[in-house]
Amino acid sequence: MEGTIGEIRGFAGNFAPRSWAFCAGQLMSIAQNTALFSILGTTYGGDGRTTFGLPDLRGRIPISAGMGPGLSDHRLGSRGGVETVTLNLLQLPSHHHFATTANPMTITTSMTAKDGAATTDTPAAGLSLAKGNTEVNFAATPTNMYGSAGNDVTLSSGTSQIPSGQPVSVEPTGGNQSHTNMQPYLTIYWIICMFGVYPSRN
């Protein structure tokens, strides 16, 4: 199958035809492939003294060198791209998380008081609610409500409910797993012409 030295073609067979080789990044002898070396040089590998490398298109697609409008610059022989990507926080769009409760939340509270007689009508540190009593005087008679004597008594508990369906803050979630970053594809072989017509520069 005749071709131009250095030419790359797609091939649907499972072998490289005579005068062609798979584009698999293998190192070739300069002495045995002087014409192809004069075209490729060490762009794709090799030491430039005894060996040079072929392009490695295994699992890759070729793109044209240069910089298209609005695109990045790509140099001949450069590689790029990854098969999988893990997004980081800066790459995610701004968003909020909402959660709802399955049932209304109930909060139960309780408080204690003294079962002894109250001694004052003025709250102060160290005093608790106690048995109320009124001192009878000719002047205004305040009702004593606070004291420190007696045993602690637990008053009846009270409850309050928070309706369900309210937005609440939630902790972050996710597994930080990568996702596939590949376009639909069909696998064939890329082959390069080793011996054939030498390309003219003009």
Residue 63 in this model has a pLDDT that exceeds 80: yes
Task: Please check whether residues 54 and 6 belong to one and the same domain.
Answer: yes
pLDDT of residue 31: 98
Task: Please check whether residues 57 and 112 belong to one and the same domain.
Answer: no
Is position 126 within any domain?
A: yes
Supply the CATH number for residue 18's domain: 3.90.1340.10
Is position 37 within any domain?
A: yes
> Can you tell me the distance from the alpha carbon of 50 to that of 30, in angstroms, rounded to the nearest whole number?
5
How many CB atoms are located within 10 Å of the residue 118 CB? 23
Confidence of residue 61 (pLDDT cuts 50, 70, 90): very high
Is position 87 within any domain?
A: no
Of residues 95 and 42, the one with the higher pLDDT is: 42
- The pair of three-digit structure tokens given for residue 66, joined into one six-digit string: 């240069």
- Dump pLDDT digits (tens) for 109-165: 777 788 888 888 787 877 887 777 776 665 556 677 777 777 777 766 666 666 665
Task: Please check whether residues 1 and 55 belong to one and the same domain.
Answer: yes
What value does the mean pLDDT of the chain take? 85
Domain count, the chain: 2
Is position 86 within any domain?
A: no
Is position 11 within any domain?
A: yes
- Dump pLDDT digits (tens) for 96-107: 776 666 666 677
Is position 195 within any domain?
A: yes
- Dump pLDDT digits (tens) for 25-57: 999 999 999 999 999 999 999 999 999 999 999
Domain extent at residue 21: 1-61+186-202
pLDDT of residue 128: 80
**What does the chain look like in DSSP terms, one character per residue?**
---BTT-EEEE-SSSPPTTEEE-B--EEETTT-HHHHHHHTTTTS--SSSEEE--B-TT-----SEE-TTS-EE-TT-----SEE---GGGSPP-------SS-EEEEE--EEESSB--BSS--TT-EEEEEEE---SS--PEEEEE--S-EEEPPPEEEEE-SS-------------EE--------EEEEESSSBPPP--
pLDDT of residue 164: 60
Is position 92 within any domain?
A: no
Task: Please check whether residues 154 and 198 belong to one and the same domain.
Answer: no
Is position 191 within any domain?
A: yes
